[in-house]
Amino acid sequence: MAKRIFTSFVICLLFLAAGCVKQEAPFAPSLFLGALMESDFASAYEYISPAAKEKITKEDFVKRYELMVNELGVTGVYVDSLIIDNDLSIAQYNLHYALGDDELSYTFKLPFLGEEEHWLVDWSPALVVPDMDWGDTLSVVRVQAKRGEIFAGDDVLAKNVAAATIFANTSKIQSAELFCSELAPLIGEDEEYIRKRLARSGEIVIIKSMLPEELSQEDAEAMLAIPGVGIDRRAFGTIRVYPFGPLMSHTLGYVGAITDEELTRLNAAEPGRYTGDSIVGKSGLELAYESELSGKDGREYYIADANGQKKATLLNIPAQDGLDVHLNVDVGMQQRLEEVMALSLASHQTGAVIALNPETGAVKALCSYPGFDPNLFVRGIPQDIWEQFQDEANHLPLFNRLTRGLYPPGSIIKPFTASAFLENGAITQHTTFEGEIKDDYWTPRRAGWNYPPIKRVAIRARPSPLNLENAMITSDNIFFAYAAMETGEEAFLAYLDNLGMNEAMPFELPLATPHVKHEDTDFHMRFLAESGYGQGEILITPVQMAAMYTALQNGDIMIPRLVNKLYRTEGNGYIVEREFGPEAWKKGAIAQSALDIIKPSLEKVITDGTGYTLRLRSRRIAGKTGTAEVGSREVSWFAAYTLDRDEPLLCLVVIDTEGGVVKFDIVRELLEYGG
């Protein structure tokens, strides 16, 4: 228990009071109260009268105070305004029990008795809290706060349903071993699971929460026949349910029972907010917005008589429900995206897709494939399914490729390396490559080039001349390697660093940190050339790559935003607590002069170049394809955005391995969705 640091005023007051009785020996009331403030209940017992000791043993005395501290969550005990009337053998004082942000305060009259050096406290339970008698106990009922729900439009993506909660009243358990052995098969858990639950402090211990339909009448009757078992269908709260199953699984995440490490860490920030029975966010938005979603439990502190009946309420703190989280996501588009990915990707392929408004950063749909059903985790995932999720042969479905996957971007990065070339003056819009290319191979005639030649993809009808626009349309690696070397290592690396390519951008879900090169890499000429067309050692997450493409609107890299507001439900209405609008991460990341040159060529990528497969007759689209080699496998990218839609839409796809026409099919479905 955390101990309060008391002011010297309180301590001095105690010893001044002791001095008033003009005795050489320490004065029992002062020492008794001092021991309480130090939570040294064993020492406090030594200052109570023999008559009191006949009614309560030292062990029971200590247990009574410790139970009060544990059950009520007392974080400190302190005394002030101590007045001692030696003639009447009465000490009057104010006693305060600190309870986090609240406290219980009482004025007591403490009787003491004795003579000479044998002054003792005539203790009774009424000195713990008023109106407490012998045989009474202090109890607390924790009223669970409703966890905030997660919405998109009018759809509930993560909601609460009333739980049937099996709990143990530890004071009524006759045999712990028998209790565990009889209850375990009825709740589908082993005996060790129940023993760990019973090891938690408190008279009432939650054993397991179940959906109402999971608890049959027959099982309920069998459970209630076990001494100490209780079933609650209202007071102990709810169970988290994800109505759409696997939809947005990585984004929503899931909740689960709190661990000891989480309990310590979370309560360090807000003491007493969480208990061993708390359910907390484990991943995704459930974890990212844990503090807002979880709310704060209410508590009712009361005196119970010897029969366990409520005698008097000491303090009632109402529960504060968590905030609801509302997303920018279009559920219809999200459903279509996940359907198309499941139908289009082969068994050996994984991938990630994000669609957002490039002007505001509002995320409309996103998917990491394969996914999982978060409902599996709510009440404890079966071991065999957990092992399947950890098997690389099953493509690690818990791994969020959107935020944690680092991929070489390949040619999808060329709009940004092109801006580096242009803004540094290495090339102009009219620069023409004049080097010798033989069978789509080019060997740079530069001092220090001792590497294999640069290769480009063979194209049947290649436009001429080989300038920036034609190189962008055909995704010509030779031109971009040449331009990177013309720019030079220092200027090239500095420009990409300014684009944020060596730092994880802000996002509601943690992003893996991208990099242009490893810290210890000797960035020789070959690395510089390869980096110009997105190979070398460049790695980036799909989310951050999509955010970079927002800079093609007006030069600003926008922060992708999943959540648009947090609100509190009140009756049939709600109060918005916080809203999130558009926010630029890197303002002016790309100069307008560079955009004026690059943007027209990206439209021609779709009409005349490598993105021709996508071409939609009803839409003007700009975009860029990309393919990167990683050992023996291929990573395939495609980013495209609308030029004629009232609400613009940017889509980015990465397929691991070879993307073929699949990436075009996915983007087409998204761009055509909703008109």
Q: Is the peptide bond before 465 cis (omega within 30 degrees of 0)?
A: yes
CB distance 606 to 623 below 8 Å: yes
Alpha-carbon torsion 599, 602, 606, 609, what sign?
Answer: positive
* Contact yes or no for 293/302 (Cβ under 8 A): no
CB contact set of 34 (below 8 Å; sequence gap of 6+) = 11, 14
Q: In which band, very low, low, confident or very high, does the pLDDT at 235 lie, cut at 50, 70 and 90?
A: low
Annotation: CATH topology of 143-323: Penicillin-binding protein 2a (Domain 2) (3.90.1310)
Helices 191-198 + 176-187 axis angle, to 10: 120
Burial 237-271 (b: 16+ CB within 10 A, else e): bbbbbbebebbbbbbbbbbbbbeeebbeebeeeee
CATH 3.10.450.100 residue ranges for the chain: 8-134
DSSP character at residue 212: G
User: pLDDT for 404-433, tens place per residue?
Assistant: 999 999 999 999 999 999 999 999 999 999
Alpha-carbon distance of 196 to 227, in angstroms, equals 18
In this prediction the pTM is: 0.81
| pLDDT computed for residue 102 by the predictor | 78
* pLDDT bracket for residue 97 (50, 70, 90): confident
pLDDT tier at 116, thresholds 50, 70, 90:
low
Q: What percent of the chain has pLDDT over 90?
A: 57
Looking at residue 11, its pLDDT comes to 37
Q: Are 13 and 22 in contact (CB under 8 A)?
A: no
pLDDT at 462 over 80: yes
Output the CA–CA distances (angstroms, integers) from residue 64 to 41, 72, 171, in the order listed: 9, 12, 14
Work out the mean pLDDT of the chain and round it to a whole number: 89
563 Cβ partners below 8 Å, 6+ apart? 285, 289, 325, 326, 327, 328, 508, 580
Provide CATH 3.90.1310.10 ranges for the chain.
143-323
Residue 19 reports pLDDT greater than 70: no
In this predicted structure, the answer to whether residue 4 has a pLDDT above a threshold of 50 is no
d(C-alpha 411, C-alpha 406), whole Å: 15
> CATH second-level architecture of 8-134?
Roll (3.10)
542: Cα separation from own chain's centroid: 20
pLDDT value, residue 440: 95
β strands within 530-642, DSSP E? 557-558, 563-570, 573-579, 584-586, 621-630, 633-642
